[in-house]
Structure formats: C-alpha cells, structure tokens
Amino acid sequence: MAEVRALADTHRIRARHEFRGLRTAEHYFTVPLDHGSANSATDDQTAGETITVFAREYSSTEYSEEEAAKLPWLLFLQGGPGGRGNRITSLSGWMKAAAKDFRILMLDQRGTGLSTPVERQSLVLRGDAAAQADYLTHFRADSIVADAEFIRHALDSGPWSVLGQSFGGFCALTYLSFAPKGLREVLITGGLAPLHGPAERVYRATFRRVAERNAEYFAWYPEDRETVTRIVRHLEQHKEFLASGERLTPERFQMVGSFLGGNTRVDSLHYLLEDAFIETPLGDRLSEAFLEQVRSLVSRAGNPLYAVLHESIYGQGESTDWAAWRVLEEFPEFKPGAEAPLLTGEMVYPWYFEQDPALIPLRDVAAMLAAKSDWCPLYDHQQLAVNKVPVAAAVYKDDIYVDHDLSMETAAAVRGLQTWVTDDFHHDGIGEDGEGIFRRLFGLVRSSR
C-alpha cells in the first residue's frame, strides 16, 4: 500500500464545468499498467510502465462546491468489457437519485474512453500479436479494481460506495474478493457473475434465454418472423454492403438481436425491420436507411475491447477457446441455415475477426487470448463467503445476458448479499427506471447496517 500512496501525486484535475444543474470535474490518474509488478520486486518489463485512467466527477449544483466536496464518493462501474463511462448532460435516472447523497465518479475503465484507449491503431505500438495479447491481459476486472483502489487513495477517500451495472457488477464482485476494505457498500444491477467456469455453462444458459426472448418477440410481432427469414435468405443470395464498405453477411445481420436485451428497446427492433426492403430496378434490395441503422449495431469499431476480451471475463485457470462458438453447435436454430433462424445476442465468435474491418487486425491477438489457459482467478470464494460489506443486487428473471439462475447461485455464495428479483425489467433496467432501482438497492444496503 505504501507504493500506491507514493504514486497518488500523479493525480490531476484538468477542467471543471457547470451546466444544467450539474457540476463536473475531469480527473486524470497515472497508474501502473501492471499493479502486481509495480508493488513487488520483479524484472518484468511492465513493472515501471504506466497508463492514464480518466474519471469524471459529477455532483449536483443544489450543493455549493464546499458542500459537495464533503459528500462521500460513489464509484460507477460501467458495463462492458470495453464500455466507457457515460457522458451525461443533466442529472436524471439513477444519477439524479445518487447525487442527493454522493459525489459520483464515472470511471472510464482502462482501455476505454480517455483511459489510454485500446484500438487497432494504438495496439500496433505494442509490437507483434504476442506482445499485444500480453498487454491486454492487464485489462480485466482485477486490473480495473486495482485502478479503483489506486484512485480512492489518490482522492484521499475512505471506503467508498460502488454501483456496478452488468460487467461493472462482475468488477464489483472482484472488488469484494480482493479489496473489501476499500468498500463501504456495493450495489449491483444485472451483474452477478458466475464465480466459476467453464465458460460453456454461461453460454448454454445464454443461448436458452435468447431463444426464449426470440419466441416472445415473434409472438408480439409475428410478421417480423417472416421478415427476419427473408433478410437472411436475401443476404445468402445477394451481396449487400454497408456504407463503410464491408459486406453485410447473414450472421452479421443476426447481431441485431442485441435489441432483445432491452425493455423498451426491444420494440425498436420492429421499427428497424420495417425499413428493411425497398424496390429498385434490380428488384427488392435492402434500403440504405436500414443498412445504416444496422451498421452501428454490427460494428465493433467503437469498442473493440468488447470483442477481444469478452470471453476472458469468464476465464479462470483455463482457456475459453471460443466457448460461445463451440456451444452454438448445440443450438442449430441460431445458424443462418436454419429454417427460421433466430437472432443472436452478445456472444462473440471467431468470424467477427474476419468480417469486421475494425477487428480484422486483431484476429491473431484474439486467438491468442482465446487459447490462454493461465488466467488468474477473478474471485476469492473464501473471502466472499465471509463478506462483511453490505451488498444488494437487482436480478432480472428474464435477463438474456446475465442468467438469473447463475446469478442466484452467486448470490448464495456471497455472505450477506441481498437480492431484489424482478421480472419488470431486462438487462438494461437501470436505463428504464434507474431512479427507482437505485433507491430500492440503496435502501437495502442501508437497512442492513
């Protein structure tokens, strides 16, 4: 810990702003790339290397600057992997509720946003594919938690509160495992991670949930069942290209199933599909309006870390070896050649790195990470079993990304963890009624003291 404190002077605030009832401050921290090497005697070449981690502080102008500075911190851990912290222009939803009691620290997790971003352009600076893969091993939840502890000390904060959404909840469980003394309380929404592998069990559950969600959607919009099949068959027979130049393949189109993970967002899928076809001199083709909407859904240019590191969030002591791709063989209804092909969810497959221009340069890196078999543990089961930090989690019964049954298995393994189980929301519940969800979970942790 002495080493962490010695580095705390590498914190700077670059700018402050006030607008629409909120006050912001932009924090930059210089942190070790490899916290383990930095805090131990080692000859590792990364031992002295540092990266920048950015976080934006939000508080309400209902408080003066002096009053706000006395409020305790709430650290928000975003979903992902590869998702930067939210950029907001007014306090609403869960942030409106939280700002009554906290200063909010919105973290850009390492590799995202302004935190030494990882993209294909920057990764080439690391060297060959092996060097790039080795670099990315420092971008999982254990490193994110080490960053958070470094930042907490740099801010001279006592134990703080943490809210983790989706993958942010996975990180919160890692925090509870390895740095519980830094936590006052933890709130988790849609993010109770399975504590042990293999990754295949996650994807079997995920495929089942996504299949059920497809059935539910097509019951609401039966005409869309025919439209989806028609689009897949059309793409098998005709070459259609996105505005960025790459071909839209049947399997890439199926990625629009990401809509299925939402509450109100699921209905937006219908509006997308109704734009699909337009008459042309060559017959019916996919409209440019449709193709442009699809482009933003099937490209990982904005968050390549999601694709590269996605399966590694389940890797502990063994390789994931493209688990979702292998498990897909057990669910042929998701293959484009099925009689009525289903839409897919957030699973990542090897062909992403052959068809997405933003990912093609990372193909060898992704393959190396998929084959990596010595991932370190992300959770300490013994520590979680004797946990003393108040924890409350929203568990969504029909969540297609973080399975309810696996979440409840995890809840039972964390001492004192309280769950609020509901079928009112899907994975993005915090975006639907963030204020209500935050208040409920906050009430649970405070009532447990």
Any idea which residues carry the catalytic annotation?
A: 166, 374, 427
Unique residue bearing structure tokens 């989690």 = 393
272-279 long-range contacts, CB within 8 A, separation 24+: 273/221, 273/224, 273/227, 273/228, 273/231, 274/227, 276/227, 276/230, 276/231, 277/230, 277/234
Concatenated DSSP letters for 363-412? Answer: HHHHHHHHH---PPPS--HHHHHT--S-EEEEEETT-SSS-HHHHHHHHH
* CA 295 – CA 252 distance, rounded (Å): 10
Q: Which of 125, 71, 65 is nearest to 102 (CA)?
A: 71
Positive or negative torsion for Cα 342, 397, 145, 313: negative
CA angle 370, 107, 401 (to 5 degrees): 45
Phi/psi at 340 (nearest 5 deg)?
-135, 80
The per-residue b/e assignment along 126-142, b for 16 or more CB within 10 angstroms, e otherwise, is beebeebbbbbbbbbbb
Give the count of beta carbons closer than 10 Å to the beta carbon of residue 439: 15
CA angle 423, 428, 430 (to 5 degrees): 90
Structural tokens at position 146: 């080490």
> Residue 77 pairs with which residues in a beta bridge?
164
What is the end-to-end Cα distance of the chain in Å, rounded?
28
On whether the CB atoms of residues 167 and 81 are closer than 8 A, the answer is yes
346-354 long-range contacts, CB within 8 A, separation 24+: 346/206, 346/258, 346/261, 346/310, 346/401, 347/203, 347/206, 347/207, 348/306, 348/307, 348/310, 348/311, 348/324, 349/251, 349/322, 349/324, 349/325, 350/322, 350/325, 351/251, 352/300, 352/307, 353/307
Decide: helix, strand or coil at residue 57.
Answer: strand
The CA R_g of the chain, rounded to the nearest whole Å, is: 22
One-letter amino acid at 424 equals D
